[in-house]
Every structure is written in C-alpha cells, then in structure tokens.
C-alpha cells in the first residue's frame, strides 16, 4: 500500500523545515507501530514518554491517560 502525504501550502518558498519535521514524525510513528521498519534514516526515537499517552507500553491506558489523549486529540 502506498500513501502520499501533502502538507498545506501557501504561496512562496517551500517550507523545507516543515517537510523535514513531518517526515521525521511519520518515520518515528511508523517505527513505533512496526519495530521491523527497514528505514535507517531519521529513526532515532526520543527517549522520553508519557505513560499511556506517547511512546508507552502495550496495554490499556488509565482513565486519566485516555482523557488526556482525548483532550489533546492524540
């Protein structure tokens, strides 16, 4: 399956930093979902986490974590 991701664009110069940030985020999200990802660029994942919200272990998050995720739309 192949997906094309297009960032919103305004007139003017291409925002390369926004493209780089989006690319890094998508690679890291893919790596989190599939540890066997073959991409070897931009795969350094941050070491911090928020339990039940970001980069957390498998399992059901707490009620507080679920509410926080809903609040920040993650």
For 54, phi then psi, to 5°, come to -130, 130
Return per-residue pLDDT of the chain as tens, 74 residues. 778 887 777 788 888 888 888 888 888 888 777 878 777 777 776 677 778 887 777 778 889 888 888 888 77
CB 24 within 8 A of CB 39: no
For 24, phi then psi, to 5°, come to -60, -45
């Amino acid at each position: 399956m192949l997906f094309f991701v297009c960032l919103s664009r305004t007139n003017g110069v291409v925002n390369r930093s926004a493209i780089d940030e989006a690319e890094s985020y998508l690679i890291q999200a893919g790596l989190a979902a599939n540890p066997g990802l073959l991409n070897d660029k931009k795969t350094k994942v941050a070491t911090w986490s928020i339990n039940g919200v970001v980069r957390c272990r498998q399992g059901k998050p707490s009620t507080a974590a679920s509410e926080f995720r809903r609040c920040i739309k993650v």
